[in-house]
A and B are shown apart, each in its own frame.
Chain A
Amino acid sequence: MTVVDGPLLELKDLVKDYRASSGFFAKADTLRAVDHVSLSIERGESLGLVGESGSGKTTLGRCILRLIEPTSGNVVFDGTDVLSLDPKTLRALRRRMQIVFQDPYGSLNPRMTVGAAVREPIIVHRLASKRDANVRVAELFDEVGLDPSHMDRYPHELSGGQRQRVGIARALSLKPEFIVLDEPVSALDVSVQAQVLNLLADLREGRGLTYLFIAHDLAVVRHVADRVAVMYLGKLMEVAATADTYAEPMHPYTTSLLSAIPQPDPDAQSERIVLSGDMPSARLRAQGCAFFTRCPHPGKNDKCRSKEPPLSEIRPGRFVACFKADDPLRLER
């Protein structure tokens, strides 16, 4: 049964723990990569998920597709609880949700022609005969801006941008509704990055796709996302409409992150907050706010140190996990 109303994807209280040991003889302890994340994505929406390395954004993306099994919580896709599915039903559902990885070189088989790589899912899912599949692949190549005559080439014969187009064509081959884009342009040069970003925008419009766009680059996310979710140490810090996030960030982490981005304009060098220290290890997390150790907010206090701020809706559609959300950190521009 298909539920027509409601979000296409809903994450409820999702947790992913890893057992990790800090040394050969050390006792294994728990590293919480995703920490009670609840989030929904509407049909046709593009949700940007940003954070630094180790924030858990990639783990979260993979938990949705069950490429990584979450520890607890729910993933509901179009009314179906993804985590309760048996392998066969899951495989059928995966036709509707796909992923594009950062490094197309690492995710394509070097000994398979790129045409065969795009054709493979079609054959595996028995969506077409081999001959029809080739026609489909040629159409897909055309759609993503690749010359169909390149179908017989191997990944190393293509440029980085072309390989990422192959990765996108492969994800599209099963006509999915939802795609997790995990840093899809991070490995590309600026001029090629712009080409791929425009392609992704066209595909979304043409096919009515829903995206989870995972990236560390806030400037890129601004161009592709309707809403932005900011992650730190496995937790959501802020979720808001894209325009609001950039115009008036409410969480001190979002504010700091935005101020740290180098702007290609010598006159627009705004006040910069340089966060001290590194993101602490997810293993050694103390109680209290995850961001407490690096928080530049002048009003941070004992409550922040001892209690964890919940992600609360402070205005319709604006979620912030900060006790100081009523007095947000502001930057002089």
Chain B
Amino acid sequence: MNRVLSIRNLSTSFSTERGVARAVDDVSFDLYEGETLGIVGESGCGKSVTALSILRLIEPPGKIAETSVIEFEGSNLMTLNQSQLRRVRGAGISMVFQEPTASLNPVLKVGLQISETLRAHNSISRATAREKSIELLDLVGIPDPDKRIDDYPHQLSGGMQQRVMIAIALSCDPKVLIADEPTTALDVTIQAQILELLADLRRRLGMSVILITHDLGIVAGIADRVAVMYGGRIVELAPTTDLFSRAQHPYTQALLRATPRIDDQVDRLETIPGAVPPATAWPNACRFHPRCKQRFERCSADEPPLLDVSDSRLARCWLVASERRPA
């Protein structure tokens, strides 16, 4: 399979009153053609900052380390100037955010917001842009697209607004779509519609998708591979079926057991003691060790690298390299 996007040693930090927050710390992964990669983790683990960093959408006081490499279509996005970057954003890699209400301009008709993107990237007439916009609204499953194109965002429901955002993201045929919690603000029946739409579009358009979510259920249904993030780092990376059947990292295991399920009733949910520390104060050594039930001496002394578990599986845990691992 061909690599579409290659991230190497991505680090993004923010200077704050309390010190430097290392929100994303030395993250590396590849995205292959036509695949959906899920990035999961709890608030503050660095998943959204990873997404924004890929498109270099980090504003001061945030800073992407110079040593980071974001390789897309043969060039390192870190070395591009603003006008070159603008061509990549939208036409190469585009993004859908959590809150469609916050991303759409409330005083512009939705059709205009799509045509605007189209005309920024292509030299086409207003009429052609309008025609293409209607096609895009149709593509994302909006009924009566020739009428809805003249609606203002507030005339559409949350689910329909998110479809418009997806239409805008798809307007310039991107190779990669990054969806950052695209369904978190939506009801569960509407979420099911949007997830189905994303899966369908990926198949039809042959894009690669990075889906960022806190919901393990969502990645189980849609992703080919999953990266689990904790403390600004990837702690586990595996094909989806392997991750859910044999999670290797104690954090992934605990997260799965803490998730309530509709097909299973347990008396008590397993909890992970404590909370995620602030990004200004990651523990030295393994970042999860203060909350880990399986920690041993080495965990508080050195931080483990991402270790090979087997083919295409990685976990950042000393247990992987240790004879302490229970068989």
Contact = CB atoms under 8 A, between A and B. Distances in A.
A155 to B, nearest CB: 15
Interface in A237-275: 243, 246, 256-269, 272, 274-275
A162 B193 CA distance: 34
Contact of A262 (B159, B193, B195): B195
A201 interface: yes
18 contacts: A190-B255, A191-B255, A191-B272, A191-B275, A194-B259, A201-B268, A216-B187, A217-B188, A222-B261, A223-B265, A246-B262, A257-B189, A259-B192, A260-B189, A262-B195, A264-B244, A269-B221, A275-B189
A222 B260 contact: yes
Nearest to A202: B268
Contacts of A286: none
Interface of A: 52-53, 159-162, 189-195, 197-198, 201, 216-220, 222-223, 243, 246, 256-269, 272, 274-276, 278-279, 294, 333
Nearest to B193: A274
Given A189-B42, A189-B214, A223-B266, A266 B240 contact: yes
Contacts of A265: 220, 244, 261
A201 B157 CA distance: 36
A223 B192 contact: no
B193 A266 contact: no
B254 interface: yes
Given A260-B192, A262-B218, A274-B196, A190 B42 contact: yes
B263 A275 contact: no
B258 interface: yes
Nearest to B218: A262
Contacts of B42: 189-191
B105 interface: no
A296 to B, nearest CB: 11
B270 interface: yes
A70 B9 CA distance: 58
Interface in B69-123: none
Contacts, number: 127
A262 B221 contact: yes
Contacts of A217: 188, 260
B258 A190 contact: yes
A276 B244 CA distance: 30
B305 interface: no
Given A52-B189, A257-B188, A274-B192, A219 B260 contact: yes
A218 B196 contact: no
Contacts of B270: 194
Nearest to B216: A264
A198 B268 contact: yes
A262 B271 contact: no
A88 B287 CA distance: 54
Contacts of B218: 262
Nearest to B156: A278
A161 B198 CA distance: 32
A275 B157 CA distance: 15
B43 interface: yes
Q: Which 10 pairs show the lowest CB-CB distances between chains A and B?
A: A262-B217, A191-B272, A189-B42, A52-B187, A194-B269, A260-B192, A264-B216, A194-B258, A219-B260, A278-B157
A223 B244 CA distance: 21
